Structure 1
Amino acid sequence: MTTLDLTPDELLTTTRTVRKRLDLERPVPMELVRECIEIALQAPSGSNRQTWHWLVITDPEKRAAIGEYYRRAVAEYLGSSGAAGKLYSDDAERAPVQQRVGSSVEYLGERMGQVPVLVIPCLQTKSLPAGNQAGLWGSILPAAWSYCLAARARGLGTAWTTLHLKYEKEISALLGVPEDVHQAVLLPTAYYTGDRFKPAPRQPLDQILHVDAW
Structure 2
Amino acid sequence: MTYTLDLNPDELLTTTRTVRKRLDLERAVPLEVVKECIEIALQAPSGSNRQTWHWVVITDAEKRAAVGEYYRRAVEKYLEGPGAAGKLYADDPVRGPIQRRIGDGVAYLGERMGQVPVLVIPCLQAAKLSAGNQSGLWGSILPSAWSYMLAARARGLGTAWTTLHLTYEQEVQELLGLPEDIRQTVLIPTAYSIGTDFKPAPRQPLDDVLHIDGW
TM-score strictly above 0.5 = yes
Q: Which residue of 1 aligns with 2:98?
A: 97
**Divergent runs of 4+, >6 A:** none
Q: 1:78 to 1:56 in 2, by over 3 A?
A: same
Would you say 1:49 and 2:46 are equivalent positions?
no
Q: Which residue of 2 aligns with 1:19?
A: 20
User: Counterpart of 1:113 in structure 2: which amino acid?
Assistant: G
**Which sits farther off after the overlay, 91-100 or 155-164?**
91-100
Q: 1:184 to 1:86 in 2, by over 3 A?
A: farther
Identity of aligned residues (%): 77
Distance in 2 between residues matched to 1:182 and 1:195, nearest whole Å: 32
Query: What SS does structure 2 have at the residue aligned with 1:89?
Result: coil
Using the TM superposition, give the Cα deviation of residue 135 of structure 1 relative to its aligned residue in structure 2, in angstroms.
Answer: 1.1
**Which sits farther off after the overlay, 74-83 or 144-153?**
74-83
Would you say 1:212 and 2:186 are equivalent positions?
no
Distance in 2 between residues matched to 1:65 and 1:87, nearest whole Å: 30
Using the TM superposition, give the Cα deviation of residue 82 of structure 1 relative to its aligned residue in structure 2, in angstroms.
Answer: 2.8
User: Counterpart of 2:154 in structure 1: which amino acid?
Assistant: A
Q: TM-score, normalised by structure 2?
A: 0.97
Give the superposed CA RMSD: 1.1
**Which sits farther off after the overlay, 88-97 or 107-116?**
88-97
Using the TM superposition, give the Cα deviation of residue 134 of structure 1 relative to its aligned residue in structure 2, in angstroms.
Answer: 1.1
8 Å contact 1:73–1:164 — kept in the other structure? yes
Distance in 1 between residues matched to 2:84 and 2:2, nearest whole Å: 40
User: Counterpart of 2:184 in structure 1: which amino acid?
Assistant: Q
Aligned residues: 214
Q: Residues 40-71 of structure 1: CA distance to partner in whole angstroms, max 9, x if unpaired?
A: 00000000000000000000000000000000
Query: What SS does structure 2 have at the residue aligned with 1:81?
Result: coil
8 Å contact 1:88–1:102 — kept in the other structure? no
8 Å contact 1:58–1:116 — kept in the other structure? yes
8 Å contact 2:157–2:192 — kept in the other structure? yes
8 Å contact 2:54–2:122 — kept in the other structure? yes
Q: Which residue of 1 aligns with 2:172?
A: 171
8 Å contact 1:117–1:189 — kept in the other structure? yes
Distance in 1 between residues matched to 2:187 and 2:127, nearest whole Å: 21
Using the TM superposition, give the Cα deviation of residue 132 of structure 1 relative to its aligned residue in structure 2, in angstroms.
Answer: 2.6
Distance in 2 between residues matched to 1:41 and 1:105, nearest whole Å: 28
Q: Which residue of 2 aligns with 1:2?
A: 2
Using the TM superposition, give the Cα deviation of residue 194 of structure 1 relative to its aligned residue in structure 2, in angstroms.
Answer: 1.8
Q: Which residue of 1 aligns with 2:60?
A: 59
8 Å contact 2:58–2:118 — kept in the other structure? yes
Q: TM-score, normalised by structure 1?
A: 0.97
Distance in 2 between residues matched to 1:70 and 1:22, nearest whole Å: 16
